[in-house]
Chain A
């Protein structure tokens, strides 16, 4: 299940209404997703509010001593440390001085417990600030990437929508028979080129795209294919140039060349 689907299950999870399989999936997602944990905390508050909707009922008087007797017999889990005022059972009646002392100790311990509670509160707030900042940094990075992609997509769309768009298919030559490419060219919107099944190149070499008009080849950008052999290039088109007769791709030193180095590896004519 995706994050979004799991997040949608949180209300039912908080209510305890998920069937076993789903509950398991949500529980393990929660271990790694701070966003969902925060959402769950809010939902649990709402769930607690439902429970508090049941009107309080004064319990029978004997219940209080039963509760206190019972805890006197039960050990605690993960006890931090033992304090000098354990639940009292049958102790002899303390003297007034001892009571005063006990009260002072209780106050002192109470105050230090309170301070400790506040300190851990601060620590946990500090934690969540750090988490939030890390998250913000990550999102900022993602936003930058998305913006860059968006500019790219807009440029591609402009080329594809242009009324003077010219489409040319490029075929791999004898040295690269499996490769193929396609160029979209518009005098107003620019040039976009995609290719796939390109073999990887040795270090220090890149592919370079050329527009060919008559006998003149003009460089239109260099590129390196990804692991699947796919690549794409966009480039502006200089105002007033003639419609190219053909497009070609060669292998050049990194940085590209001013004139193509033979042999040509992909080529396609515009008519």
Chain B
């Protein structure tokens, strides 16, 4: 796999994972400093993903606040056996963003007006050096696999992921039969999963 060649040394990712986990334990123990530490490491990731889903800086900022407040409240329930801290935070971000997206869709006129006014800022090219080999590794693998997926597969994954659409909603949106939607999503996810093995 030529994917791993560039960039950071692989060995450091488990250190990142341990450091993140120690930070989460500290948050669970009531440390605000540890929340700040996680914010410094993942704030840009959370904000970037929320912007990608919502397209509006003010809503994305609200998501960032919601996500770190949730990390604060629920750190005691974080399950290291299920996901990395980075994965957990990204999952919370996506869920919160899609909740907001749905709430906005409930008011389409307002949303359209706001969309017309807001400009999406350009992504920052730099991410903090700490942001992070751990992210880098899984992401590089998944990103590579995502980029290699045929369009008709990738677009369905993105509709599900970034817009939170279900099988039948994707079918209604794209005109693709629901059975085909299911098969393509399953096979696309199989590909993404296989690069992480």
Asked if A pairs with B, the answer is yes
Q: Using CB atoms and an 8 Å cutoff, list the residues of chain A in contact with chain B.
A: 8, 11-12, 14-19, 41-60, 63-64, 66-68, 70-72, 74-83, 85-88, 106, 109-110, 113-114, 116-117, 120-121, 124, 128
Q: How far is the CB of A80 from chain B (nearest CB, A)?
A: 6
Which residues of A are found within 8 Å of B135, using beta-carbon distances? Answer: 52
Q: How far is the CB of A259 from chain B (nearest CB, A)?
A: 65
How many chain B residues touch the partner (CB < 8 A)?
Answer: 83
B48 contacts A55, C-beta separation under 8 Å: yes
In the complex, chain B residues 126-158 whose Cβ is within 8 Å of any chain A Cβ: 126-127, 131, 135, 138-139, 141-143, 146, 157-158
9 contacts between A and B (CB under 8 A): A52-B86, A53-B146, A55-B123, A55-B127, A70-B65, A71-B69, A75-B73, A87-B31, A109-B29
B167 contacts A19, C-beta separation under 8 Å: yes
Nearest-neighbor residue (CB-CB) of B93 within chain A: A51
Nearest-neighbor residue (CB-CB) of B67 within chain A: A67
Interface 1/0 per residue, B155-197 and A, CB below 8 Å:
0011011001111101000000000001001101110110111
Which residues of B are found within 8 Å of A14, using beta-carbon distances? Answer: 189
Nearest-neighbor residue (CB-CB) of A48 within chain B: B87
Q: Which 9 A-B pairs have the closest CB atoms?
A: A87-B32, A49-B142, A11-B189, A56-B44, A48-B87, A55-B123, A54-B52, A57-B48, A46-B192
Which residues of A are found within 8 Å of B83, using beta-carbon distances? Answer: 41, 44-45, 48
A52 contacts B72, C-beta separation under 8 Å: no
Which residues of A are found within 8 Å of B48, using beta-carbon distances? Answer: 54-57
Question: Is B121 located at the chain interface by the 8 A CB criterion?
Answer: yes
Known contacts A53-B139, A57-B124, A74-B73, A45 near B196 by CB under 8 Å:
yes
